[in-house]
Amino acid sequence: MAAAETYNNILSQGSMALAVADAYDAMTSDRPYRPAMSSEDACSELDRGKEKQFDPATVDAFLSLLKKNRKTMRFMPKFKRLEREKTLF
């Protein structure tokens, strides 16, 4: 039984979606120990993680939404900068 199949039996769909979104955010954010990955590299990494770390249907849905919403995603670095600078709210 694949790891992702096991997750499907234990975790809710919401938690699986959160795991994929969190992994994407972690990969595309700067860290003290490494620079951010490009969106394309992060998508490739998520694709490689299907059946191993992530539910394949959840990854496919996330990548599909990401492709449709590239314009929205270009706003995210600005949002993160504003959030970091505490000027968002």
- Is 70 exceeded by the pLDDT of residue 12? yes
| Domain positions in the chain | 3-84
Q: Whole-angstrom Cα distance, residue 50 to residue 30?
A: 24
Would the pLDDT of 7 be above 50? yes
pLDDT tens digits for 38-80?
999 999 999 999 989 998 999 999 998 888 776 555 556 666 6
- The mean per-residue pLDDT over the stretch 28-34 comes to 92
What tokens does 59 get? Answer: 């990854």
- The model's pTM is 0.67
Predicted pLDDT at 25: 93
